[in-house]
Amino acid sequence: MTKLTLGTHPYLLGFEQLERLVERTAKTGNDGYPPYNIEQTSDRSYRITLAVAGFREEDLSITVEDRQLVIRGRQSDDGQDRVFLHRGIAARQFQRSFVLAEGVDVGEAVMENGLLHVDLTRHVPETVVQTVRIKRSGVK
């Protein structure tokens, strides 16, 4: 008996890339930092919120690479001249990735009280009905 996977199911024609997309999502390797929320703000819009306390706007970058939203943070360590008795707040970098569906566009990004908000909008394509003409065999 042959095992069917998502991309090879006979009723899902042209969806071979779905399996690759799922694999790519599993390989993002996010370690839980920084914590984030994803909320649906309307039928066609979403908001990703990351807790980025201690980061400045210039420490963060947001890019879209091959339908993948990538948010990176890199803090400069300006405490080289300081003597810490306890250092519990580490200056660490991160990369957080989110795979975007076809038709999802990244809108604006806003920093507010240590939170980075990134707004997304999903465009719904019009339904198109196409009639396919059947030709008789042997007739040109």
| Amino acid identity, position 105 | D
| Amino acid identity, position 135 | K
> CATH: 3.40.640.10, 3.65.10.10, 2.60.40.790, 3.40.50.170. Which one for 31-122?
2.60.40.790
Per-residue pLDDT of the chain (140 residues; tens, 9 = 90+): 555 565 566 677 676 666 766 676 666 555 688 999 999 999 999 999 999 988 999 999 999 988 899 999 998 766 578 888 987 776 689 999 999 988 999 999 999 999 999 999 999 888 899 999 999 887 65
Q: Is the pTM of the predicted complex or chain greater than 0.75? A: no
Strand, helix or coil for residue 74: coil
